[in-house]
Amino acid sequence: MSCRVFSGHQDGEALGAIEIADSIKSMEIRGAGLIARSAADALRQQAEDYRGEDVEELRKRLEEGRRSLIDSRPTAISLWNAVQATLRGASRARDVEELRSLVISNAERFIERSGKAVETIGRIGSHRLRSGMTVLTHCNSKAALGVIKAAHADGKEINVYATESRPWRQGLLTVRDLSEAGIGSTLIIDSAVRWIMKEVDVVLVGADTICSNGALINKIGTSQVALAADEARVPFIVCAETYKFSPKTVLGEMVEIEERDANEIVDPRQLPAGVKVRNPVFDSTPAEHIDSIVTEIGLISPYAAYEVIVKELGQESIFEANEE
């Protein structure tokens, strides 16, 4: 298993899930795919560690764990899809053993599929890149970087512009990751995107959530990158596993955009009295600015989002979203 993010706690308490939820909240664990795999793994660990005999008690603890995980960061639907997939069928398990093995196998299947999805997206997306191309990417997305790395592995020479992505500066992770893979990159500040766009052949970004109308929710600034790409006629491609699509949006639910502490942007002592600071960390890019979405089931139009939700995540997930 590629994603063992914590180990050892007593008796299947929600503690492991709470610890992981805290690490997600503090952004020690970040990126929508990793958040999802870590949440699935936290519930798997909780089921594995339970030593009691009471199936209702284990179910209750898993539900507490699920709750603390989904409350840890509100925007990425990958987190909700992961915990739902991990606990699917849990209400029907008759004893501890049945519940434990169901949760373990669900979690392992989710984690394995998630890892494979990133690989497949890399392969499919790389067909859109030719040698000598310049890619711009925003923030730090494993799925988007997977595409660049797959193209590089095929012998294509790819140049990358990576945005700094204030305030957390995930762009530093991106250039580090690319450098380790032997891929050259140039770091730019977020406000340089429109100026640099004339040198860019394609934009590749990841996704936290894709709505049923095809809108993309991703790191703050993504929609400005999309506008600049649209203006310059540069294709804007999203790289997203199918569990980044949101069944909740089918029911008309709006995606909650997380706002984090102002201290992440500026030390309040540096500001004159009365000045407010806001720190929204994601934004929404409408479908009309998206060229295509690379998923593990193929390259699709953003307008196919509803079909992906129904066919890949299933009516069951829409039903569960309704129950929430």
Contacts of ligand RUB in 187-246 (CB under 6 A) = 206-208, 218-219
Number of H helices and E strands in the chain, helices first, is: 12, 10
Nearest 5 degrees, angle CA 27-CA 29-CA 35?
115
Q: What single letter denotes the amino acid at residue 161? A: Y
Q: Tokens at residue 137, please?
A: 């990417």
Active-site residue, 239 included? no
Based on CB atoms, which residue is closest to ligand RUB, 17 or 281?
Answer: 281
Active site residue 139: yes
- Residue 47 has which token pair? 């089921």
Question: CB under 6 A: which stretch of 7-15, 136-144, 191-199, 269-277 binds ligand RUB?
Answer: 136-144
For residues 222 and 236, is the Cβ–Cβ distance under 8 A?
Answer: no
Q: Which is nearer to ligand RUB, 103 or 139 (CB)?
A: 139
Q: Which of 45, 81, 106, 141 binds ligand RUB (CB under 6 A)?
A: 141
Please tell me which residue in 139, 230, 239, 291 is annotated as part of the active site: 139
Q: Which residue do the tokens 């958040």 mark? A: 35
Contacts of 40 (CB under 8 A, 6+ apart): 3, 82, 83, 85, 86, 106, 107, 110, 111, 114
289 lies in the binding site for ligand RUB (CB under 6 A):
no
x-or-dash pattern for ligand RUB, window 74-93, by CB under 6 A? --------------------
Nearest approach in angstroms of CB 229 to ligand RUB is 15
Report the alpha-carbon distance of residue 103 to residue 88 in Å, rounded: 8
> Which among 208, 211, 230, 239 is annotated as catalytic?
208
Residues that bind ligand RUB (CB under 6 A): 30-33, 139, 141-143, 168, 170, 206-208, 218-219, 281
